[in-house]
Amino acid sequence: MSLVKPFSVVLCAITLIFIFCSKNPVTQQTGEINSGEVSFLLLASAESDFKDLADRAEVIITAPDMDTIVGSLEVDELSIRGTISNIPAGFNRKFEVIVFTAEDSVCYYGKTYVDIVANITNKVSLTLYRYSGTGSADINGTIVDSIPTVTNIPPTVEITSPVDGSEFYTGDNILITAVATDADGEISSVTFYNGTELLSTVNESPYTYTIINAEKGSYSFICVAVDDSGASVFSDTITVTVSDVPNVPPTVEISSPADGAEFKKGDDIKIIATASDNDGEIA
pLDDT at residue 24, rounded to an integer: 26
Query: How confident is residue 241, by pLDDT bands cut at 50, 70 and 90?
Result: very high
User: In the chain, where are the structural domains located?
Assistant: 11-145, 156-243
Q: What CATH code would you report for 156-243?
A: 2.60.40.10
Is the pTM here over 0.75, yes or no? Answer: no
- 87 burial (CB, 10 Å; 0-12 / 13-18 / 19+) is buried
The CATH number of 11-145, from 2.40.160, 1.10.287, 2.40.128, 2.60.40, is: 2.60.40
pLDDT of residue 90: 78
Question: How much is the pLDDT for 31?
Answer: 30
pLDDT (average), residues 220-224: 92
Say if CB 219 and CB 240 are below 8 A apart: yes
Separation CA 108–CA 88 (nearest Å): 26
Same fold, 11-145 and 156-243: yes
Q: Which of 25-34, 98-107, 251-260 has the lowest mean pLDDT?
A: 25-34
Least confident among 61-65, 104-108, 141-145, 253-257: 141-145
DSSP string, 178-191: EEEE-TTS-EEEEE
Query: Residue 56: pLDDT band by 50, 70, 90 thresholds?
Result: very high
Give the Cα separation of 55 and 37 in Å (integer).
24
By the 10 Å C-beta count (0-12 exposed, 13-18 middle, 19+ buried), 108 is classed as buried
Q: Which long-range contacts (CB under 8 A, 24 or more apart) does 209-215 make?
A: 209/175, 209/176, 210/173, 210/174, 210/175, 210/176, 211/173, 211/174, 211/176, 212/173, 213/171, 213/172, 213/173, 214/168, 214/170, 214/171, 214/172, 214/173, 214/174, 214/242, 215/170, 215/242
200-213 pLDDT, tens per residue? 999 999 999 999 99
DSSP class per residue in 82-142: EEEEEEE-EEEEEEEEEEE-TTS-EEEEEEEEEEE-TT-EEEEEE-PEEBTT-----EEEE
**Cα–Cα distances in angstroms (integers) from residue 153 to residues 37, 80, 98, 260, in the given order:** 21, 37, 39, 81
187: pLDDT confidence band, cut at 50, 70 and 90? very high
CB neighbourhood size of 14 (10 A): 20
**What length is written for the chain?**
283
